[in-house]
Amino acid sequence: AMEEVCAKFVSQKISKTRWRPLTAAALHPPDVFATGSWDNEDNRISIWSVGDLGNAGVNGEYQGEPQLLCDIRHNGDVMDMQFLDQERIVVASSTGTVTVFRHHQNNQTLSANHWWEKAHYHVDQDTSCGGAACTGVICNNPEIVTVGEDGRINLFRADQKDAVRTIDNADSSTLHAVTFLRTTEILTVNSIGQLKIWDLRQQRNEPSQIFSLTGDRVPLHCVDRHPNQQHIVATGGQDGMLSIWDIRQGTIPVSLLNAHEAEMWEVHFHPSNPDHLFTCSEDGSLWHWDTSTDVSEKPSFLHQGGRSTTYFSHNTINHSVVSAWLSNDPTKDRMEITNLIPNQTLSVNSLDILGPCLVYGTDAEAIYVNRQLFA
């Protein structure tokens, strides 16, 4: 069952993998992705193609491994990376700098298009070693929001030299990730288990709402917002738990789901089929969470190849919502979880999902592409 996954071994630990967004008119599946690396002497931003390149097998399935189109050196570890549009990629560095790279598709080169030196810093921007890691970036073209180890939030606009807005002491702890809730609102997660909502129209430098994990103040590393229901948010953190939040009510998660045995590094709702959610972890696993209701009609691929598939119920404290993620109807209260990579040992640092295609990167210096996720 694993032959639909192709691996590419690269001489770098991969920290981030991202599909290039499709144009609105595109009918084909995604065919280009970017990777960033970390913990190497020379870190790189690389652009890869999984286009069919005449390698289609008998059933038209893709058989070749990803091809490197171009790459460029990156100063510092790649902490996060997001496409701004078809050509530009925004990269967050452990040095605190945020760089916009441009992919020139006519001659397959990458160049640094624009950068904000030490967008994040510990003491002041001028000291030579004062940079603080930029841990997260999110784009809503032309706007770019970054967060960092310094507890700072920046709002940039592509091609503008200075930040549009900076919230200097947004958090006294490290901010690990950020997502847009709507065009004027962002949500951050921090190293003491809190979610904070910020309204960028307000000049105040305080969050409009704060949510927190009860009890242990577990560091949260990742966050994603449900693509259709903006009040539903998923987070993951150091204890490997998946938390589902309804930001319209209460200040604690509506569901806490046992997940990984170590840090969860990324969580992503499927952008067009959000009953499906994906998480990856330091423990070497990548889980597909499926809440689509009728278990009996699940695609058969979930049961192939000895993958561990478990069913379990979760209790929620929610009564008013249709989303399966918040459902408390016992007949729907079943979720199917599949570890898509049962025998991986090193950390799966990043994943991205678009259409039928999954790409993920690991500390085993490999990138993996599955183009038939729902086959």
Tell me what pLDDT residue 304 has.
28
Query: Rounded to whole angstroms, how far apart are CA atoms 264 and 276?
Result: 17
Residue 3 binned pLDDT confidence (cut-offs 50, 70, 90): low
Q: How confident is the model at residue 293 (pLDDT cuts 50, 70, 90)?
A: low
Please, are residues 133 and 146 in contact by the beta-carbon 8 Å criterion?
A: no
pLDDT tens readout for residues 69-103: 999 999 999 999 999 999 999 999 999 999 999 99
- Which of the 8 DSSP states describes residue 168? T
CA 370 centroid distance within chain: 17
User: Does the pLDDT value for residue 223 go beyond 70?
Assistant: yes
Average pLDDT, the chain: 86
The mean pLDDT of 114-125, rounded to a whole number, is: 87
Name the pLDDT band for 303 (thresholds 50, 70, 90). Answer: very low
Q: Give the mean model confidence (pLDDT) for residues 167-171.
A: 92
User: At the topology level of CATH, where does 8-293+318-370 sit?
Assistant: Methylamine Dehydrogenase; Chain H (2.130.10)
State which amino acid sits at residue 239: D
Residue 63's pLDDT is: 59
Residue pLDDT, tens place only, 141-155: 999 999 999 999 999
SS3 label, residue 108: coil
Phi first, then psi, for residue 296 (nearest 5°) are -65, -20
Indicate whether 26 pLDDT > 90. Answer: no
Mean pLDDT (whole number) for 244-270: 93
Residue 344 — very low, low, confident or very high, per pLDDT cuts 50/70/90? confident
CA 60 to chain centre: 30
pLDDT at 313 over 50: no
Could you report the per-residue pLDDT of 176-194, keeping only the tens digit for each? 999 999 999 999 999 999 9
* CA separation, residue 371 to residues 64, 173, 275 (Å): 12, 39, 19
The pLDDT value recorded for residue 128 is 60
- Mean pLDDT value of segment 254-261: 91
Kindly indicate the confidence band of residue 129, based on its pLDDT and cuts at 50, 70 and 90.
low
Question: Residue 370 and residue 348: Cα distance in Å, rounded?
Answer: 15
Stretch (H or E) spanning 111: strand 109-116
Mean pLDDT across the stretch 126-132?
73
CA 136 to chain centre: 10
Phi-psi region of 62 (alpha: psi -120 to 50; beta: other; left: phi over 0): beta
All structural domains of the chain with their residue ranges: 8-293+318-370
Q: Which amino acid is at 138?
A: I
Summarised one tens digit per residue, pLDDT across range 29-50 is 899 999 999 999 999 999 999 9
Annotate 188-227 with b (16+ C-beta within 10 A) or e (fewer): bbbbbbbbbbbbbeeeeeebeeebbbeeeebbbbbbbbbe
The answer to whether the beta carbons of residues 61 and 372 sit under 8 Å apart is yes
What's the CA gap between 16 and 29, in Å, rounded?
20
Give the E-state strand segments of 158-216 in sequence order: 165-167, 175-182, 185-190, 194-199, 209-212
221 contact partners, CB below 8 Å, separation of at least 6: 176, 177, 189, 236, 237, 238, 263, 264, 265
What does the block give as tokens for 65? 């491994």
